[in-house]
Chain A
């Protein structure tokens, strides 16, 4: 079974600054994917970034990047140049061959102007 842990229920950041959201996971699978999803007040779950476990290079998507430490089973999300629109609940998730997503508890990010 997979588990995902997000130890920061809430985080805040000043606009234009950088923030890092933490995520650790546990899986016995060798082949898996990791995701960060964003859920704004509209409730639509939006994929932010995806990392394939067999790739050592950290994924990046514009202002969003991850620090993937496979041995430590850590998958943190860094948001650079934070914008007001980044305010949302962020969920870390993993998926293996069973195809179901396993989510963490979420981190509520506040962006202060």
Chain B
């Protein structure tokens, strides 16, 4: 079974530019999550999709971040315009079902560097 795939693995962009990160969850996983780790800090929740719907987007830092999940399959996270403080590693995770008794599978993350 293919795991959670994220790309690009690394992106370097200039302040003010736009970047789009992509996550392909495990096939059949309805739940998709985005997390971010800023250098040296804890991993923080950004948002949660159930199929194509946003279940919880309370962790999105501001309106420069836009997440979509087309047809309940892959998801994109767009940052426009990027700021220096957006640098960090962006993780995607998916799970098969809701509730507490489930497992998450994480991708390898996208390291975003804004210069």
> B74 contacts the other chain (Cβ, under 8 Å)?
no
Measured CB to CB, the residues of B under 8 A from A are 31, 33, 35, 40-45, 48, 55-56, 59, 89, 91, 93, 95, 98-101, 103-104, 106-109, 111
CB <8 Å contact, A43 and B45: no
CB <8 Å contact, A100 and B103: no
Note all chain A residues with C-beta closer than 8 A to B104: 47, 101
Partner of A101 from the list B35, B55, B111 (CB cut-off 8 Å) is: B35
Note all chain A residues with C-beta closer than 8 A to B44: 103
Given contacts A44-B108, A100-B33, contact A95 B42 (CB under 8 A): no
CB <8 Å contact, B42 and A104: yes
List residues 28-63 of chain A with CB under 8 A from any CB of chain B: 31-33, 37, 42-47, 50, 52
Note all chain B residues with C-beta closer than 8 A to A43: 89, 108-109, 111
